[in-house]
Amino acid sequence: MSKASTFNSREALDAALSKAICQQLVAGINQNGSATLVVSGGSTPKGLFKALSTTAIDWPKVTVLLADERWVDVAHPDSNSAMVKSLLLTDHAKEANWLDLGAGKDDVEAELARVKDELANLATFDVVVLGMGEDAHTASLFPCSIELAEGLMTDEAALMTRPTTAPHLRLSLTKSRLINTQMGVIHIVGTSKRAAFDSATQHVDDDIHPISHFAHLEQFALWFAP
């Protein structure tokens, strides 16, 4: 792991990480006129999303998208898009541009092609926030998925995956697209996940531990609280 920041509480982590993310977004806006923030779903980033939403930056110049999404409608309880919209894209951040991954649509291949086209129009991401599961998966790059090798090796920006240990077809950004970022964050809370992370990162580019493909890269840092 190239860098790590550890905090005594989730609240302190969320506040510090929100500040660092917004500083990077502002730098991107100042340099390029726009910025892109890639976020992850699950319960871990809920406090971070609330902290980000109340920060007054030039959100109309920021594009927000998910690193991956379950292929369910936004009304489904498993929709990460719904969580991002309700917790992040509110308050000041309601003015941000949302890149919808099209989850739940009937024509999966058409939506995947559209997402790839939209990603091709985006330069290097300014911030990518990744989470990690207990099995060391990140985004929807699962060790159990037959699509894992493609997701880690392809030059394409996105692909569909179907994990065998988790529900739903998913759209995921690929390793090559996720690492094309100015600032990479591995956002982990809880001692059990930290133990899984420490075990996984004894390896480098190990397909049994997909997070290991990111943790040792210079642009990525661990942000952790118990």
pLDDT digit string (tens) for 168-208? 999 999 999 999 999 999 999 999 999 999 999 998 999 99
Q: Are 62 and 71 in contact (CB under 8 A)?
A: no
Q: Are 105 and 111 in contact (CB under 8 A)?
A: yes
Q: Are 203 and 209 in contact (CB under 8 A)?
A: yes
pLDDT digits (tens, 9 = 90+) for 75-102: 999 999 999 999 999 999 999 999 999 9
pLDDT digits (tens, 9 = 90+) for 108-155: 999 999 999 999 999 999 999 999 999 999 999 999 999 999 999 999
Angle between helices 10-32 and 46-53 (to 10 degrees): 50
- Across the beta sheet with 68-70, the strand order is 68-70, 170-173, 158-161
Instruction: Name the residue ranges covered by the structural domains of the chain.
Output: 4-225
Q: Are 126 and 182 in contact (CB under 8 A)?
A: yes
Q: Is the pTM of this model over 0.95?
A: yes
- The amino acid at residue 41 is G
| Fold (CATH) for 4-225 | Rossmann fold (3.40.50)
What is the C-alpha to C-alpha distance for residues 36 and 21, in angstroms, rounded to an integer? 11
Q: Is 80 exposed, middle or buried (0-12, 13-18, 19+ CB in 10 A)?
A: buried
